[in-house]
Amino acid sequence: MAGMSVIQEDNPNITKDQILRVLPSKHLAKYVTDDLVNILNSENNEELRRIYKDNFLSFTSVMSEGKFSLTAYANAIKFCTHRLMGDTNILAYSKVFPDRYQNMVDNGTSAKDIASFASSYSKTGIVIKIMEQSLVPTHILNASLYQEAINTQAELMRSARSETVRQKAAESLMVNLKAPEAAKIELDISYNNDTIEELRATTRALAKQQLKLIEGNHLNAKDIAESKIIEAEILE
């Protein structure tokens, strides 16, 4: 049984059971029909059928973000697959909807109008959501190449005959493998001339008051020196 399972997963054709396993909502199960499966499995190119299948099973979460039919999703998957493979909007559209495309050609629809229809389809909600999910950041997509480059630099650092090559390889590793710097906390202390002048005026007033207290024999210099200044809010 295990061997049969492996063969089924390796099969380029998609099955109803595979679709049912990845549906974001159970209410969509009733729409998993032979016609739906045939949208993907009718492709003659085996490798392309495999890509259709993989993409269909990978992006089903987009159906939970809007009211899209499974048929619309399957067609959009095919369209996005061709766009990601480098096809233009018109070429991708003609491959996904060959009957529609041929009808337009037979009816004398201008190339400009056909291009407009294809462009309009490329901007539908389901297509945009699939394309958004398919865009993988370059640093993730090329993670294996990055690691390979690091390994190459390490090998050069250890075994290169040229001292210059070993030095440059070592410098490259030091830069790329440097531990993240701790975040620096910067304290921004701002003040203006009004604040400084106000402080000066307060200090002068306090000094005058203390001098009057000394002259009136209410306090002496020692009392002044040992006194504490307490900041308080004065209510008028």
Kindly state whether residue 231 falls inside one of the protein's structural domains: no
Helix H or strand E encompassing 16: helix 16-22
Residue 181 inside a domain? The answer is no
103 and 158 co-located in one domain: no
Does 216 lie in the same domain as 161? no
Instruction: Determine how many CB atoms are found less than 10 A away from the CB of residue 26.
Output: 8
- Are residues 198 and 164 both part of a single domain? no
For 218, the domain range is: 193-226
Number of domains in the chain: 3
Instruction: Read off the pTM.
Output: 0.55
Same domain, 126 and 149: no
> Tokens 């039919």 belong to which residue?
69
Statement to judge: residues 34 and 51 lie in one domain: yes
Statement to judge: residues 125 and 34 lie in one domain: yes
pLDDT recorded at residue 92: 96
Could you give the CA distance from residue 126 to residue 73 in angstroms, rounded to a whole number? 7
Task: Answer yes or no: do 64 and 110 share one domain.
Answer: yes
Q: What is the dihedral of CA 172, 174, 176, 180, to 10 degrees?
A: -160
**pLDDT value at position 106?**
96
Confirm whether 7 is domain-assigned. Answer: yes
Residue with tokens 């040229």: 162
| 57, 73 contact by CB (below 8 A) | no
Question: DSSP code of 216?
Answer: T
Same domain, residue pair 87 and 24: yes
Both 106 and 18 in a single domain? yes
Q: How much is the pLDDT for 47?
A: 93
Question: What pLDDT tens digit does each residue of the chain (236 aa) get?
Answer: 333 333 345 788 999 999 999 988 888 899 999 999 999 999 999 999 999 999 999 888 888 877 889 999 999 999 999 999 999 999 999 999 999 999 999 999 999 999 999 999 999 999 999 998 877 555 654 666 778 888 888 888 888 889 898 888 888 888 888 777 665 555 555 556 666 777 777 777 777 776 776 666 666 666 656 565 555 444 44
Residues 96, 120, single domain; the answer is yes
User: Which are the contacts of 53, defined by CB distance < 8 A and separation ≥ 6?
Assistant: 12, 13, 14, 18, 40
For the chain, the 3-state helix, strand and coil shares in percent, each to the nearest 5, are 70, 0, 30
Do 106 and 161 lie in one domain? The reply is no
Nearest-angstrom CA–CA distance, 29 and 220? 94
| Residue-level pLDDT at 4 | 34
If asked whether residues 105 and 10 sit together in one domain, one would say yes
Instruction: Give a yes or no: residue 105 inside a domain.
Output: yes
Structure tokens at 183: 């975040």
